[in-house]
């Protein structure tokens, strides 16, 4: 390992040790701060921050292949807006007993 890699690992270990100590001493403040930052990030993303803001009048032309088939068109689908009533599967057998 090179010397700059050893130095980077020492700095990382030192930083994580200080962060760990800060979290142990100030847990509630740390959690409130993290939650506040996450809510701000969520509001920023939901407000459209990640959309492209470049060209406003960008025209997009997509290639298309049109195939015309010979022959009559197919018949239209029939849709019954009032289907016959559905009989429930559950039967409580009330008509099996005579009163």
Structure tokens belonging to residue 43 = 């509001």
Instruction: Count CB atoms within 10 A of the CB of residue 30.
Output: 14
Instruction: Give the separation between CA 13 and CA 21, rounded to whole angstroms.
Output: 12
Confidence grade of residue 7 (pLDDT, cut at 50, 70, 90): very high
pTM summary value = 0.41
22, 30 contact by CB (below 8 A): yes
pLDDT of residue 33: 94
> What is the arithmetic mean of pLDDT over 89-98?
62
pLDDT surpassing 60 at residue 28: yes
Q: Which residue has the tokens 């018949």?
A: 75
Instruction: Give the separation between CA 22 and CA 25, rounded to whole angstroms.
Output: 5
């Amino acid at each position: 390992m090179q010397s700059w890699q050893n130095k980077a690992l020492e700095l990382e270990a030192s930083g994580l040790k200080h962060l760990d100590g800060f979290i142990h001493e100030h847990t509630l403040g740390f959690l409130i701060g993290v939650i506040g930052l996450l809510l701000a990030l969520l509001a920023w993303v939901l407000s459209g921050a990640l959309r492209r803001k470049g060209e406003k009048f960008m025209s997009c032309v997509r290639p298309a292949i049109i195939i015309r088939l010979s022959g009559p068109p197919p018949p239209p689908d029939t849709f019954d807006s009032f289907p016959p009533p559905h009989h429930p599967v559950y039967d409580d057998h009330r008509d099996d007993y005579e009163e």
